[in-house]
Structure 1
Amino acid sequence: MLEPKFCYRILAAAGLAHDEQGNDTDCFAQIDHVGGCKIRQDQYDRMHEQLKHRLAAQHEIDVNHLECISQEEYDDNVDN
């Protein structure tokens, strides 16, 4: 069973983040259902993909500019 945390890499091509020189760069997003019950792998995979489409719509970006990533990859790339 998995915690309902869904992580995404938003590719530089989406134009949502910029580095110190003003160049487009990747950024990251996490959707965390705090207090949510653990779910099966198949449910997790389905929800991860569904939420990717919602996140793209919310930010008005092409869904192809989003990649589903693991919690570990998210943690490795984000300063907490």
Structure 2
Amino acid sequence: MLNQFSLPETPGQTKQERLEQVADQVLENLPLPVKLLAGNSINSFRQALHFEDFDEQIDNGLEKLKEVIDYVQYGTYPGE
């Protein structure tokens, strides 16, 4: 799946738009069995991206993702 993923040529104007671009691409490239299992959750996720004041939640999610990447890549925990 990741080998089919590429960043959009034209970035969205806001964090929210850029997250939507990335999320759409990830969701489109999910294997069919995963899409079927996810069902309505995919639609709920897409709707959640349209809430106002979503930037803080995006920032929090990105920080958590950075922690996970550091853990996997370097074996470090947050704050080390």
The TM-score normalised by the length of structure 2 is 0.32
Decide which structure has the larger Cα Rg and report it.
2
Which of the two has greater strand per residue? 1
The TM-score normalised by the length of structure 1 is 0.32
